[in-house]
Chain A
Amino acid sequence: MTGVYLGLPAFPEAARSATKNTRMRANLTRATHTIRDKRARAVAELEDWDQLRAAGKAIKDQTLRHLDRYLLQVEEKVTAAGGHVHWARDADEANRIVTELIKATGETEVVKVKSMATQEIELNEHLAAAGIHAYETDLAELIVQLGEDRPSHILVPAIHRNRTEIRDIFRDRMASWGRPAPEGLTDEPKVLAEAARLHLREKFLRAKVAVSGANFMIAETGTLVVLESEGNGRMCLTLPQTLISVVGIEKILPSWQDLEVFLQLLPRSSTAERMNPYTTMWTGTHQGDGPKDFHLVLLDNGRTATLADEVGRQALRCIRCSACLNVCPVYERAGGHAYGSAYPGPIGAILTPQLRGTETELDRSLPYASSLCGACYEVCPVAIDIPEVLVHLRAKVAEHAPGHRAERTAMKAATYAMTHPAAYRTAEAAAVRGRKLIPAKIPFGPGKAWTDTRDLPDLPAQTFRQWWKETHA
């Protein structure tokens, strides 16, 4: 883990301050519930949603099983169509490749299409260190960049902001990045959108280099696919002379027929739209149309290691729709920043510890950032059983990470007592007898965590077991 996410607190600590931020929580609750309800309606329109979901899962699983073959096919097809393919083992390698490609053009600024992969590798920060300005052109990413903030949602990165905050950010910050916000800026959505349009238009028309990610790569033709809602991505993908796309190796679909399934699953799950507004597809380069130079950087960065985990690999099916974030009660209250990664919410809680490992306290805390309520699994368009992976990752953390010795001892003791009836009866009787000695507010440990906000139940005079003996024995 580098730069942006270095030294962030563990999830429970970050969430503690977030739960007290009433404005952020109000913004998040309003936004997530709106998208959640819209998604439910959009999905309910399709009678064959369950079959689509099963198809999406099956296509992704089949592709991941033969990823080696499909990756070589992508390389062959992209190269044949006039593109250049680069392989990046990790974030550092990807950042170095992109920086060198930009430097080779002689440019010092690039426009960016909203991309999770480049956030994951912290590309903007690396480019800045190399003297290259990267301008985010997705409206929400622009808000985050101008506000010197971090994204808190995959699809709606500025979801934690309301429009008054956005007005203030535009008014105060636009001038230092380019065209200033118009005088007398209000917080009307239309006015804010117009200010962003004017600010960004200048960048689109000037840029010679664009950097993007991709939602899908179609192996049979070497075609890349980007889905977006604003048309700003289309500007970046078509106007500049050089286009560099950084794409995770798991983004492959074997054929165009497979894409059909995902063009239904993704828009309805993410923006609750029946059809995606701007779908841009390109295959290498073309004379007199679009970028003259196209570079595809294939990013591993922990994906191969994730693929090796039989339970955890299902996280690689993710198509970054955000449906799991929008239904997650923990995300709604903790906010996206608490997850300390480009991938917040339930999917982040299983993706980040696999891609980054569990070296830091933050990454080790992520598998526990869930009540295992299962709302995420229910809405996932590719049926990732997120609770199953969370529990699987908890077991890995508990086995290998420091700080779990006391917990393991307690769990072992509990299992011992529960497999030795005499020990169990003794412990049970002691619990009932000792209950009246426990204070209403326990001063330390898990007891404190419980009694800070909740009463303990009054333990009854006798256990069920004792009642049964008296009445049925």
Chain B
Amino acid sequence: MRIALFVTCVNDVAFPSTGIATVRLLERLGVEVAFPEAQTCCGQMQYNTGYPAEAAPLAAKFARDVAGYDAVVIPSGSCGAFVRDVHPKLAPAAATPPVYELTEFLIDVLGVEDVGAYFPHRVAYHPTCHSSRLLKLGDRPTRLLRAVAGLELVELPAAEECCGFGGTFSVKNPDVSAAMGADKVAHAVESGAEYLVAADNSCLMHIGGTARRSGAPVRTIHLAEILAATKETAVTV
């Protein structure tokens, strides 16, 4: 099986460690990973801000870039949901291989829960809105986390509440966005976790940026980076 990694533009530029972790994890599990280098962005920002005509060429381009692979894996719930739910409307003629968010691929396709990871820390899982309400990842991420050696999973209060990122919402309504972010950080601190983990770096950028500005004692990390970590390759975030 040869999969195409769609790393997402945010991960490519701002969080390459997530992309690297995804590659290392999948290769460790024996998957042949390709990175179609023409890939750029899924177009979600344009579409959700009200520019469907600007998003449509990106949907068509996505289909061209991933054509011929057995599957596409995306380490982002939000981009994954957008590709799966909205791309067919934007580029109806395009045929793409099946598209999976990372935890779907691990659990549903590879059938693994224990990926052989080691992460000796206390973590809380934040189910980002698009990964839970659109993709309906359910307990896939926490099943994977529970199988990580050394990891203690603690409960995040009000976990299902939005962190307030919301794409351009974060700058169009900065006060409400910040108020939501502050509450999410407070809940993360309340959980006692060292790390807040999620399947979306865009949300984590907002939560992490809020935590860092306020000096809150919690760090953010993408799920892929925990799953990629082993005793030999400890993660330092």
Q: Which residues of A contact B164 (CB under 8 A)?
A: 329, 371
* Stretch from A80-88, A90-98, A445-453 contacting the other chain: A445-453
A377 to B136, CA, bound (A): 14
Q: Is the CB of B49 within 8 A of A411?
A: yes
Over the window 104-135 of chain B, the binary record of Cβ atoms lying under 8 Å from chain A Cβ atoms (1 yes, 0 no) is 00000000000000000000000001100110
A463 to B12, CA, bound (A): 5
A369 to B129, CA, bound (A): 16
Q: Which residues of A contact B206 (CB under 8 A)?
A: 454
Q: Is the CB of A368 within 8 A of B58?
A: no
Q: Is the CB of A368 within 8 A of B172?
A: yes
Query: Cβ of B142 < 8 Å from any Cβ of A?
Result: no
Over the window 259-276 of chain A, the binary record of Cβ atoms lying under 8 Å from chain B Cβ atoms (1 yes, 0 no) is 000000000000000000
Residue of A nearest to B17 (CB): A460
Which chain B residues in 154-181 approach chain A with CB under 8 Å? 160-162, 164-181
A419 to B130, CA, bound (A): 25
A404 to B168, CA, bound (A): 14
Q: Which of B17, B133, B171 contacts A374 (CB 8 A)?
A: B133
Q: Is the CB of A462 within 8 A of B213?
A: no
Q: Is the CB of A395 within 8 A of B50?
A: yes
Query: Cβ of B230 < 8 Å from any Cβ of A?
Result: no
Q: Which of B19, B43, B182, B208 contacts A457 (CB 8 A)?
A: B208
Q: Is the CB of A371 within 8 A of B181?
A: no
A462 to B174, CA, bound (A): 29
Over the window 1-28 of chain A, the binary record of Cβ atoms lying under 8 Å from chain B Cβ atoms (1 yes, 0 no) is 0000000000110011001000001000
Q: Which residues of B contact A472 (CB under 8 A)?
A: 23, 35
- Whether A368 touches B213, Cβ cut-off 8 Å, given contacts A421-B40, A453-B174, is no
Q: Is the CB of A419 within 8 A of B133?
A: no
Query: Cβ of A431 < 8 Å from any Cβ of B?
Result: yes
Q: Which residues of B contact A185 (CB under 8 A)?
A: none
Which chain B residues in 43-101 approach chain A with CB under 8 Å? 43, 45-52, 54-55, 57-58, 61
* Cβ distance B176 to chain A, nearest Cβ, rounded Å: 5
* Cβ distance A128 to chain B, nearest Cβ, rounded Å: 34
A333 to B177, CA, bound (A): 9
Q: Which residues of B contact A391 (CB under 8 A)?
A: 47-48, 50
Q: Is the CB of A455 within 8 A of B209?
A: yes
Tell me whether chain B's interface is mostly helix, strand or loop, or mixed: helix
- Whether A408 touches B174, Cβ cut-off 8 Å, given contacts A419-B57, A464-B16, is no
Q: Is the CB of A464 within 8 A of B54?
A: no
* Cβ distance B76 to chain A, nearest Cβ, rounded Å: 13
* Cβ distance B25 to chain A, nearest Cβ, rounded Å: 14
* Cβ distance A442 to chain B, nearest Cβ, rounded Å: 11
Q: Is the CB of A19 within 8 A of B209?
A: no
Query: Cβ of A238 < 8 Å from any Cβ of B?
Result: no
Q: Is the CB of A16 within 8 A of B20?
A: no
Q: Which of B41, B166, B172, B209 contacts A373 (CB 8 A)?
A: B166
Q: Which residues of B contact A449 (CB under 8 A)?
A: 170-172, 174
A424 to B40, CA, bound (A): 8
Query: Cβ of A132 < 8 Å from any Cβ of B?
Result: no
Query: Cβ of A78 < 8 Å from any Cβ of B?
Result: no
Q: Is the CB of A371 within 8 A of B49?
A: no
- Whether A12 touches B172, Cβ cut-off 8 Å, given contacts A373-B166, A407-B49, A454-B209, is yes
Q: Is the CB of A450 within 8 A of B171?
A: yes
A372 to B9, CA, bound (A): 20
Q: Which residues of B contact A465 (CB under 8 A)?
A: 12, 35, 37
Q: Which residues of B contact A412 (CB under 8 A)?
A: 54
Q: Number of A residues whose C-beta is below 8 Å from B?
A: 62
Q: Which residues of A contact B160 (CB under 8 A)?
A: 375
Q: Is the CB of A375 within 8 A of B133?
A: yes
Q: Is the CB of B175 within 8 A of A16?
A: yes
Q: Is the CB of B169 within 8 A of A457?
A: no
Residue of B nearest to A429 (CB): B13
Q: Is the CB of A411 within 8 A of B37?
A: no
Residue of A nearest to B160 (CB): A375
Q: Is the CB of B54 within 8 A of A411?
A: yes
* Cβ distance B71 to chain A, nearest Cβ, rounded Å: 18
Q: Which of B49, B61, B176, B178 contacts A330 (CB 8 A)?
A: B176
Q: Is the CB of B43 within 8 A of A415?
A: yes
* Cβ distance B73 to chain A, nearest Cβ, rounded Å: 14
Q: Which residues of B contact A371 (CB under 8 A)?
A: 129, 162, 164-167, 169, 177, 180
Query: Cβ of B143 < 8 Å from any Cβ of A?
Result: no
Q: Is the CB of A414 within 8 A of B174?
A: no
A464 to B40, CA, bound (A): 12
Query: Cβ of A320 < 8 Å from any Cβ of B?
Result: no
Q: Is the CB of B14 within 8 A of A459?
A: yes
Q: Is the CB of B43 within 8 A of A370?
A: no
Q: Is the CB of A464 within 8 A of B46?
A: no
A427 to B40, CA, bound (A): 11
Q: Which residues of A contact B41 (CB under 8 A)?
A: 414, 418
Query: Cβ of A55 < 8 Å from any Cβ of B?
Result: no
Q: Is the CB of A333 within 8 A of B172?
A: no
Query: Cβ of B205 < 8 Å from any Cβ of A?
Result: yes
Q: Which residues of A contact B57 (CB under 8 A)?
A: 415, 419
* Cβ distance B90 to chain A, nearest Cβ, rounded Å: 12
Q: Which residues of A contact B20 (CB under 8 A)?
A: 464, 467
A453 to B14, CA, bound (A): 19
Q: Is the CB of B162 within 8 A of A453?
A: no
* Cβ distance A27 to chain B, nearest Cβ, rounded Å: 15
Query: Cβ of A394 < 8 Å from any Cβ of B?
Result: yes
Q: Which of B37, B38, B174, B176 contacts A333 (CB 8 A)?
A: B176
Top 8 A-B pairs, shortest CB-CB distance? A371-B166, A394-B50, A454-B209, A373-B162, A398-B50, A464-B19, A464-B16, A446-B171
27 A-B interface contacts by CB (under 8 A): A19-B178, A25-B179, A329-B161, A333-B180, A368-B173, A369-B176, A371-B162, A372-B166, A374-B133, A395-B51, A398-B50, A404-B50, A411-B46, A419-B40, A421-B40, A424-B40, A428-B13, A449-B170, A449-B171, A452-B174, A453-B182, A455-B209, A457-B205, A459-B14, A465-B12, A467-B16, A467-B20
Beyond the given A329-B161, A394-B48, please list 15 additional residue pairs across the A-B interface where CB-CB is below 8 A.
A19-B176, A329-B162, A330-B180, A369-B176, A374-B134, A419-B40, A419-B57, A421-B40, A446-B168, A450-B174, A457-B209, A463-B16, A465-B12, A466-B16, A468-B37
